[in-house]
Chains A and B, each alone.
Chain A
Amino acid sequence: MAHPLLSPEGGATHLLLGNEAIVRGALEAGIQVVTCYPGTPSSEVPDTFYRLAPNAKYKFEYSANEKVALEVGGGASLSGAMTLTTMKHVGVNVAADPLLTLSYTGTPGGMMLLSADDPGCHSSQNEQDNRYYGRLAGLPVFEPSSAQEAKDMARDGLLLSQKHESPLLLRTTTRVNHLRGPVEFGPMPAPGKPEGFTRNPAKRVPIPAFARPMHERLLKRIAALREEAEKSPYNKIHGTGAIGIAASGISRAYLADAIMETGLAGKFKVMELGFSHPLPENMALDFMKSVDKLIVIEELEPILENDLRVLAQKNGLNLTIEGKGLLPPNGEFTVTMVANVLRAQVGEETFACDSCIPAELPQRPPNLCAGCPHRATYFAARKVFGDDAIYSSDIGCYTLGLLPPLSMADFLVCMGSSISAGCGASLANDKPVVAFIGDSTFFHSGLTGLASAVFNNHDVLLVILDNHTTAMTGHQPHPGVEMTIHGANEHRLDIARACEGLGVEHIRQVNPLNQKKTTAALEELKEMSGVRVLIAREPCPLHTRRVYKKTAPMVAYVADSCTGRAECLDKLACPAFYKEGDKAAVNPILCSGCMLCLQVCTHIKSKKRGR
């Protein structure tokens, strides 16, 4: 049976994840090319396209990083293909260079950039507000608040982008990407073939002489898009009160529930902006003139608030505007927070949360899985370097090595920074620097840093944690993988050869589950200077189970001779272990059979699984 998302018919209603709704919307627009680099909370968009790809007509790729993804997408759109490129918010920093020029060259096939922002830092290193990129690059910005809107805006955003030959920013936040709601499908026409490339260097090659008129065209385009925002069904005014509220994105959902909760519908007039940039100035001006006071409700930065303040000042409006003074510029909102703002405006008592707060409880932080090869690499590296080295970390599951007892992350900046920031640390320290990077991150942005490290003869040991997949974000393929859900990777890049090609002279390759060889290789590399690379190769056990369809035949158990020394518990922190009385024990269901623990203690033995 064909997947419901690929149904050509409209009319049916399905409960969809926000990210699945975006996929359906793009399909309804006739999407032809999809590119991405995965990252929470955006990943289910490309992962769904990837899973459906064998039965669908679009072209799909996991690119090596976000810049590459946007450039591949840009090239496709310049050649007339309707294109979607997806990434998480910090990925747009990586892709900012092509983004700011694609807005000059234009994107004739239509091009939508999904930026999945993460207020609350559920799975990110910062809370940056990518609506600023819409302003910086001069792009139209859509901000959905429900699954239905995610679908409709993905479709209409692509069509609008095509009409104006402008990239469009579909800006979501974690709550929108990961909500589920009913979505009524529209029809899905066949995508047809891209129009193909039309030569016009004056419009597509931004040398200074051409870039200046391109900028003029961009300014005209922004004016035209402002007209579109004025009449967009995603921008609407409702309610009758004397106090105005302007809201965008998911805050519109919090606001709707807060109005229902407080029963204050008659007191407030609401302007909802789903098509939030360029600001529909006439609409906003009329709205501000019709109220005595304006409250702006938006998560993160005061972007809409500042736009409205400027507009009011320019037009000499004498009305009070409040926003970030009432609600914070960090973290997520809740319905109660918004409801309390409404209550305070009409002089009602605010709601103080009186729910019970339990005493401090044992925490449950995420942990490296049982059998994770990163644990083995870290265990060996700690044995060889102890607290004497500086550990430069990177982004992936292995960042979890930060937690004790492994404690193998001293600093982290961004994707690929382990190598380059590690080089910097070596300039200012006498201690050895050990940098850790995953295989996907290495292809994402480690290669350039490594080339620079070799050229500048830095003194750094790089450990590449090659678990054959992009584990953290949901096991997406990257250039170095052997296997994918659709079969073998026929164009696999070999990491050791890549390092060799970049001029690294000292390269060792080990299976980290072999502690003796791993420790020996680290000892050897420790005595050398310059750029050295250890590649620790062993697939992620989850990936092994899912894609290689393999389970290790043996599991570990603790023999009765256990002395209760507990080195296994204290130093490995493997979730398959537990303490039973004075002794250690292994849960055979959780044990993946990696046999690292057998190399740590002689009282740990192996037996056939299931015995």
Chain B
Amino acid sequence: MSDIKPIRIMLTGVGGQGTLTATTLLAKTVLAEGLPVTSGEIHGMAQRGGVVESTVLIGCKSPKIGLGEADVLLGFEPLETMRAMPYLRKGGLVLSSTEFLPPLSVAMGKQENPSLETVKEVVAQCTDKSFYLPCQTLGLEAGAVQAGNLALLGALTATDAVPVSLQTLAETIKSNLPAKIVDVNIKALELGVRSLENT
């Protein structure tokens, strides 16, 4: 285990978005690549619209990522990307959705969300490696809004940040998701890859 460079991936999103499904798929893909993997999640409140944070760590024993420890931050919602920034080490990679799911206080008109520009500015203060994708739109284009998460994972395989191939990820989807939603999710992966390549 010691000869593998450790990589810590933090994932964040909103309850009900499918963040944990994406986390498990990524962890299974890392395992399928023959790499030592640990993954962690904090749930319980997940179904009630709260923040869901999870982790995938390659070459580590601990399932937890502390402040300033993440090499990669995957944000399935931009407000949560911004909130999770303290976990990213300086110069780490950020992949984030651009589409907001406003928290209740914002939806009710009591508070305002930061703009996407503000999110990008905050990210830019910490790293110059960031990519933004309209995940829900890509999910809808692939055939289901939930598949948007897979667009973000697809984009991750197109960076050199993790030793995980698009092909292994697609195989993992095929062997772990119900047959009727496999095609939609594979298409979302590809849209994510293309979206990254076009940035």
Interface residues of chain A, those whose CB is within 8 Å of chain B, are: 13, 15, 40-41, 122-123, 145-147, 174-175, 178-182, 250, 252-254, 256-257, 260-261, 332, 334-337, 351, 353-359, 361-369, 397, 400, 472-473, 542, 566, 569-570, 573, 575, 577-579
* In contact, A366 and B64 (Cβ under 8 angstroms): no
Please pick, from A260, A337, A351, A355, the residue contacting B86 in the complex, using a CB distance under 8 A. Answer: A355
Contact B47 A337 (CB under 8 A): no
Q: How close is A385's CB to chain B, nearest CB, in angstroms?
A: 24
Please give me the residue from chain B that is nearest to A146 by CB atom: B61
| CB contact between B109 and one of A353, A358, A569 (< 8 Å): that residue | A569
The reply to whether A354 and B28 contact each other, CB–CB distance below 8 Å, is: no
A310 to B114, CA, bound (A): 55
Give every chain A residue within 8 A of B126 (Cβ-Cβ).
355-356
Bound-complex Cα distance A254 to B8 (A): 13
Q: Do A365 and B50 have beta carbons less than 8 Å apart?
A: yes
Set B31, B48, B80: member contacting A366, Cβ < 8 A = B48
Confirm or deny: B163 has a beta carbon within 8 angstroms of a beta carbon on chain A.
no
Interface size class of B (residues with CB under 8 A): 35 or more
Contact A573 B45 (CB under 8 A): no
Which of A252, A256, A355, A570 meets B67, CB within 8 Å? A355
Complex contact B69–A336 (CB within 8 A) = yes
With A15-B37, A355-B90, A365-B104 known, 4 other A-B pairs at CB within 8 A are A13-B31, A122-B42, A260-B2, A354-B68
Q: From residue 44 to 86 of chain B, which have CB atoms closer than 8 A to chain A? A: 44-45, 47-51, 60-69, 79-80, 82-83, 85-86
Q: Who on chain A is nearest to B67 by CB?
A: A353
Partner of A335, one of B2, B62, B113: B62
Q: Which residue of A lies closest to B43 (CB)?
A: A178
In the complex, the chain B residue whose C-beta lies closest to that of A258 is B62
Does B38 make an interface contact (CB < 8 A)? yes
B44 and A41 contact, CB distance less than 8 A: yes
**10 tightest A-B CB contacts, nearest first:** A334-B66, A579-B109, A179-B63, A366-B50, A353-B68, A366-B48, A578-B107, A366-B45, A123-B44, A253-B61
Q: Quick check: A579 and B108 within 8 Å, CB to CB?
A: yes
Q: Which residue of B lies closest to A118 (CB)?
A: B44
Interface assignment of B106: CB less than 8 Å from any CB of chain A: yes
B66 lies within 8 A of A336 (CB): yes
Q: When chains A and B are docked, how far (Å) is the Cα of A20 from the Cα of B47?
A: 20
Q: Are A578 and B102 in contact (CB under 8 A)?
A: yes
Main SS at interface, chain A: loop
Is A355 within 8 A of B104, CB to CB?
A: no
What are 27 A-B pairs at a CB distance below 8 A? Answer: A178-B40, A179-B63, A180-B24, A253-B38, A253-B61, A254-B62, A256-B62, A334-B65, A334-B67, A335-B64, A336-B67, A353-B86, A354-B68, A354-B90, A356-B85, A356-B88, A357-B85, A359-B122, A361-B82, A361-B114, A362-B112, A364-B51, A365-B50, A366-B50, A367-B104, A400-B48, A578-B108
Q: Which of B38, B112, B113 contacts A180 (CB 8 A)?
A: B38
Find the residue from B14, B44, B87, B105 having the highest chain A CB count within 10 A.
Answer: B44
Report A47 CB to chain B, min CB distance, Å.
13
Given contacts A179-B38, A365-B50, contact A337 B79 (CB under 8 A): no
CB distance from A173 to the nearest CB of B (A): 11
- B88 contacts A355, C-beta separation under 8 Å: yes
Q: In the complex, A178→B43 CA distance in Å?
A: 8
When chains A and B are docked, how far (Å) is the Cα of A368 from the Cα of B89? 35
Q: In whole Å, how far is A5's beta carbon from the nearest beta carbon of chain B?
A: 15
Does residue B41 face the partner (Cβ distance < 8 Å to A)? yes
Min CB gap A245→B, angstroms:
15
- The answer to whether A364 and B14 have CB atoms under 8 Å apart is yes
* B103 interfacial contact with A, CB 8 Å: yes
Tell me the minimal C-beta distance from A251 to chain B in angstroms: 9
Bound complex: CA A256 to CA B59 (Å)? 11
Q: Is the CB of B66 within 8 A of A335?
A: yes
Judge whether A122 and B6 touch: CB under 8 Å: no
Q: Contacts A146-B61, A257-B6, A362-B79 known; A174 to B67 CB distance under 8 Å?
A: no
Known: A334-B69, A355-B126, A358-B83. A369 touches B48 (CB 8 A): yes
Q: In whole angstroms, how far apart are the Cα atoms of A305 and B76 in the complex?
A: 42
CB-CB under 8 A from B31, the residues of chain A are: 13, 15, 182
Closest to B56 in A: A180
A330 vs B106: C-alpha distance when bound (angstroms): 33
Rounded to whole angstroms, the CA-CA distance of A203 and B7 in the bound complex is 55
Interface string of B1-37 (1 = CB under 8 A from A): 0100010000000110000000010011001000011
Interface centre among A175, A355, A357, A577 (most CB of B within 10 A): A355
Q: Which residue of B lies closest to A568 (CB)?
A: B108
Residues of B close to A175: CB separation below 8 A: 40, 62-64
- Distance in angstroms from A185 CB to nearest chain B CB is 14
Nearest CB of chain B from residue A176's CB, rounded to whole Å: 8
Measured CA separation A567–B76 after assembly (Å): 32
Complex: how many Å from CA A566 to CA B107? Answer: 12
Q: Across the interface, do A179 and B40 meet the contact criterion of CB distance under 8 Å?
A: yes
Nearest CB in chain A: distance from B112 CB, A: 7
Alpha-carbon separation in the docked complex, A179 to B62 (Å): 9
Distance between Cα atoms of A492 and B82 in the complex (Å): 48
